[in-house]
Amino acid sequence: MTTPRTAQTGTPPTFTSYVQARGAVLLRTARSLTSNPSDAEDLLQTALTKTYLAWERIEDHRALDGYVRRALLNTRTSQWRKRRVDEFAVEELPEPDPVPAPDPAEQQAMRDAMWRAVGKLPARQRAMVVLRYYEDLSEASTAEVLGVSVGTVKSAVSRALAKLREDEELAEVASRAPQGSQADQAMAA
């Protein structure tokens, strides 16, 4: 961690030569303090502006990196503290619209219809659907368990889902379910 010195005189560096020599290192430090590269550049620019304004007062130019790092940290802390949090006092608290609880009988009817529809699938498609969606295995894991390729799993599951969407009993049960219910979501899959 050396700071630049002017050629063979041992005099302290100029601000410009310091930034040219240490800019990349300081930018990495700024990036570690923010989640956005653009914010890191802005943070470094602000810290370097503060350093430039204090350049003549800095006695030990060997500690410039520490000075700039402290400026980065202090600037970031100040930015974080100044974040605006919009809170408004109101007479009455807004309550969300109550979400109707799903009807347990409807849920059971949907599950039963789904299992009957899955039971109508050919054995290989049924196995793939059960492994993918009920056992929550990945396509690769399903392929490995069944000893087939991932492409076979993808195409067979796609055909199986198309058959499930076309199942009349399942469609009828889903049509009786309210909008936005699990049945709607299951039929959309």
> Has residue 89 got a pLDDT over 80?
no
State residue 183's pLDDT score: 47
Residue count of the chain, please give it: 189
State residue 84's pLDDT score: 66
User: For the segment 150-159, what is each residue's pLDDT rounded down to a tens digit?
Assistant: 999 999 999 9
- The helix/strand count (H/E) of the chain reads as 9, 0
- Residue partners of 131: CB distance under 8 A and separation at least 6: 137, 141, 142, 145, 146
Helices of type H across 5-133: 15-33, 37-54, 64-81, 104-119, 123-129
Q: Residues 32-45: what's their mean pLDDT?
A: 89
Whether the Cβ atoms of residue 153 and residue 132 lie closer than 8 Å to each other: yes
List the single range of 72-76, 171-175, 176-180 with lowest mean pLDDT. 176-180
Domains of the chain: 15-81 (1.10.1740), 104-188 (1.10.10.10)
Closest CA to 132 of 157, 106, 108: 157
State residue 120's pLDDT score: 92
Q: Residues 26-32: what's their mean pLDDT?
A: 90
Give the Cα separation of 58 and 35 in Å (integer): 30
> Has residue 6 got a pLDDT over 60?
no
Average pLDDT, the chain: 83
Give this prediction's pTM: 0.43
Give the Cα separation of 24 and 30 in Å (integer): 10
- Percent of residues, the chain, with pLDDT higher than 90: 36
State residue 81's pLDDT score: 80
Give the Cα separation of 158 and 148 in Å (integer): 15
State residue 159's pLDDT score: 94
Q: Residues 25-44: what's their mean pLDDT?
A: 89
State residue 86's pLDDT score: 63
- Percent of residues, the chain, with pLDDT higher than 70: 86
Give the Cα separation of 77 and 163 in Å (integer): 57
State residue 59's pLDDT score: 83
